Amino acid sequence: QAQLVESGGESVQAGGSLKLSCTVSGDMLRLFSTVGWFRQAPGKEREGVAAIDRFRNTYYADFVKGRFTVSASNDLGIVDLQMNALKPEDTATYYCAAIRGGLVTSEWAQELLSSQHRGQGTQVTVSS
């Protein structure tokens, strides 16, 4: 069993910052190689945002590079997403997800979206 709980979503002005946190717990924590974030905006497909693995390798979608930073505790039990220079198009529900087993690094986003281990999401709204 695994539990993933997100927090930190709020409404902010464009250009502002937010920090999202994901707490990962349960017996399966040790089996996860990678934890990350994906998002879904109304009427749009889900998209991978960022992820981090146990070796501290980080992965980012092109649309957040230079603005978002993912970090984690040593055991991946806490995974944060620092979001700076937010834009209205960042408005979405942000979900934390964990990947069990090995990661195909070139497919990190797809593996994140396919994972059954995910939280309930936290809403981020960026107004112009």
Which pLDDT belongs to residue 21? 98
d(CA 97, CA 119): 7
Q: Quote the percentage of the chain above a pLDDT of 70.
A: 100
pLDDT in tens, the chain (128 residues): 899 999 999 999 999 999 999 999 999 999 999 999 999 999 999 999 999 999 999 999 999 999 999 999 999 999 999 999 999 999 999 999 999 988 888 999 999 999 999 999 999 999 99
C-beta neighbour count of 43 within 10 angstroms? 5
Which pLDDT belongs to residue 71? 98
